[in-house]
Structure 1
């Protein structure tokens, strides 16, 4: 006999676990105990991202980050050493951070963390290993740039900023070729080995001595202050404008529209992300409905904010057929301006609230995702209840809040549009589109 399905109760608001914080030597340990989570995530965070690099060594942070995987013995010795403990190496560089770490069973956490400490504090950094890694990054640079959307994304920094942000995070080929093994060792010694950093630990921490883990990782390294950043100057040139990266014969275009945005500390994130969701962040967004559903130009269109400690970027991206490129550009601008003029509907407001609150228990259901949230808090000096504040901010959003955000954060009149496609077919229609003067560039000369 079938039982009657019970009535659903009101959903319980998600609360982010409260982390434990302790000072160990020159560093800080931030940990979340997740009972029953037998696989732990450990992350070591340094404020030594691409934005802090010397201009004569652009790309050195990314190269150093990759070279650490060669371990204390060189020749990719770290992964097999970790594998003996069922552990995995994790590392990445952003403009604002240098992150290394391991994912490991909690019963092998001490051994895996010891290997992390060795790799970060005393890596071999042999000439042959660093040069091999550098060659791999250079080869990957042009391989990735053969994808039109990647090419456009890498080129947009030079249209928005002067200084370091004008060059891709991994360094441009000509600049990266000049980064020597000694430059890597110097960067590592001054920015990584000498700085304790912050150790993030998430998992079932029953019986785990956090102070012991911190001591093993930090050693006698000193505390390093967060870098003092100066907001970058804008790139010269008329706004708005269009840059075509010529790919002769291409039947499709990668369309990237971008403008400068405020820095991470200056942004009200629920409002900024909310208006981004309405415009292009959800399947039911304005851009997707216009370019995909109504016009049939693309499989998808989206937008997002890329926010850094000292600046930010707002991006709209899609890929379309060559003959629809100019109209896709003007249609995207029209949707942006309409959103600023008319505001949002109640349905859009409800979708923004739900998409940013209902799924939180799933979003933070793993040690990796919880560690990722803690890393973001460390990098951007956010409070421990940052996720709870975000949730509350989204729950409290009003249509007026999002309308104000559209006027404040969206700047179609300052758009720089970068298009990777066939210039011979695009230059005329784009000039007639009225989105600013059109310049054609050879991708091979962008970073020479």
Structure 2
């Protein structure tokens, strides 16, 4: 007798509406919350505008380093995590170009205790000099360790090829600039940009018994109103484009390839059109580049393609990792696929795949407190309306093939790109020159941040 049950038939996708958040002002700060009945593990995030983009050039990396040092807590020496563990809570910190986000994930029954510990760690950490130096040295060591991975190395070189100023150095400041950061610099940044700034508190979970106003008072205390972060478009780096920069890694059997160029800022970008077009080119498993470079040619395990959009600027990035012998051909194939997409547009099958991949899975995408909190954080950072997710869904549902074809022509600029390759120059320099894409320069990776 068979124990197998018949497979259930799939029904039509269910419509999804993003939950309406509750908003309230507490002191100089704001609380944005989503009540999710039955969600017993809450996500709490404090959003402040102290992102890395606004750092002075002599303090590059201070936001990132401060985020690391906060984990040492009010007693120093990595004391925060053990203190939170007694409440089943976990520390969260993420520094981006546009924001400084800290928080905790905690059982809803212990949220008051966990948030009190979190607030103390954010507002009044020990910031012991020995902890700052230890964390700084660890970041420098980690920088070089991570840069030994070709894909990481190539990605970290993008900023310096497209921008001058702060964006020309990696988010964490790079090894040279990090070395210049002293405990006094970290303490000053924390006092001015973190401890004294209220920010916006995001809370998601089963809030039936949670006093949101009391949580806000605990986190904001007497901090000042959040200042408006200046938005100044960054200067573009000079140099001929298109061009290829080859980061020499002698003996490397693979090459990391990144194609990058400038893109509009987050407020200037129609996300469904931009992301939908990017999905067709290299953002989905069935994308054109994945089918060509992976499935047909067998050069790579996969291709990635995305827009990195910030408040003041943007970058389009296409990346893959291929066998060294296939490096130059991978570049020409990539350029040919971009040309074909711009000339011929997308098919109805590709359009439908974009729609489904960005709408059908929304109930799963936003099924956890963390994912809902992340969406609210994005809304705060980029001043988005509270129905932002619903507008995105409607935008993807209303896409046409013409929309995506136009996005490819307007947003892809291969002849204004820089291709960065991390690989064995002795093996791939001449083939890269023969592509005719642009001049090829060879650099020692360690010279990028010296």
Relative to the length of structure 1, the TM-score reads 0.98
Cα shift at 1:296:
1.1
2:288 maps to 1:286? yes
Cα shift at 1:135:
0.7
Where do residues 287-302 of structure 1 align in structure 2 (5 Å cutoff)?
287-302=289-304
Q: What residue in structure 2 maps to residue 403 of structure 1?
A: 405
In the superposition, relative to structure 1, how do residues 8 and 290 fare at CA in structure 2: closer, same or farther (>3 Å)? closer
In the superposition, relative to structure 1, how do residues 3 and 410 fare at CA in structure 2: closer, same or farther (>3 Å)? closer
In the superposition, relative to structure 1, how do residues 318 and 4 fare at CA in structure 2: closer, same or farther (>3 Å)? closer
Deviations 1:363-402 (A, max 9, x none): 0000000001000111111000000000000000000000
Q: What residue in structure 1 maps to residue 422 of structure 2?
A: 420
Where do residues 72-83 of structure 1 align in structure 2 (5 Å cutoff)?
72-83=74-85
Q: What residue in structure 1 maps to residue 320 of structure 2?
A: 318
In the superposition, relative to structure 1, how do residues 185 and 291 fare at CA in structure 2: closer, same or farther (>3 Å)? same
For residue 69 of structure 1, the aligned residue among 58, 68, 71 is 71
Cα shift at 1:11:
3.0
The alignment partner of 1:188 has SS state of helix
Where do residues 6-45 of structure 1 align in structure 2 (5 Å cutoff)?
10-45=12-47
The alignment partner of 1:72 has SS state of coil
Q: What residue in structure 2 maps to residue 153 of structure 1?
A: 155
Where do residues 2-151 of structure 1 align in structure 2 (5 Å cutoff)?
10-151=12-153
The alignment partner of 1:356 has SS state of helix
Deviations 1:177-213 (A, max 9, x none): 0000000000001111111000000000011000000
The alignment partner of 1:249 has SS state of coil
Structure 1 distance, partners of 2:11, 2:350, is: 25
Q: What residue in structure 2 maps to residue 386 of structure 1?
A: 388
Deviations 1:201-256 (A, max 9, x none): 00000110000000000010111233112111111100100000000111110001
Structure 2 distance, partners of 1:188, 1:4, is: 60
2:176 maps to 1:174? yes
In the superposition, relative to structure 1, how do residues 321 and 30 fare at CA in structure 2: closer, same or farther (>3 Å)? same
Q: What residue in structure 2 maps to residue 277 of structure 1?
A: 279
Q: What residue in structure 2 maps to residue 193 of structure 1?
A: 195
Q: What residue in structure 1 maps to residue 205 of structure 2?
A: 203
Cα shift at 1:434:
1.0
For residue 363 of structure 1, the aligned residue among 362, 365, 378 is 365
Cα shift at 1:12:
2.7
Q: What residue in structure 2 maps to residue 240 of structure 1?
A: 242
In the superposition, relative to structure 1, how do residues 284 and 4 fare at CA in structure 2: closer, same or farther (>3 Å)? closer
Cα shift at 1:293:
1.1
Structure 1 distance, partners of 2:217, 2:31, is: 10
Cα shift at 1:127:
0.1
The alignment partner of 1:229 has SS state of coil
Deviations 1:257-283 (A, max 9, x none): 100100000000000000000000000
Deviations 1:66-98 (A, max 9, x none): 100111111111111100000000101010010
The alignment partner of 1:233 has SS state of coil
The alignment partner of 2:378 has SS state of helix
Structure 2 distance, partners of 1:114, 1:438, is: 55
Relative to the length of structure 2, the TM-score reads 0.98
Cα shift at 1:56:
0.5
Unaligned runs of 5+ in 2: none
Structure 1 distance, partners of 2:320, 2:67, is: 31
In the superposition, relative to structure 1, how do residues 155 and 8 fare at CA in structure 2: closer, same or farther (>3 Å)? closer
Where do residues 210-229 of structure 1 align in structure 2 (5 Å cutoff)?
210-229=212-231
Cα shift at 1:8:
6.0
Q: What residue in structure 2 maps to residue 372 of structure 1?
A: 374
Unaligned runs of 5+ in 1: none
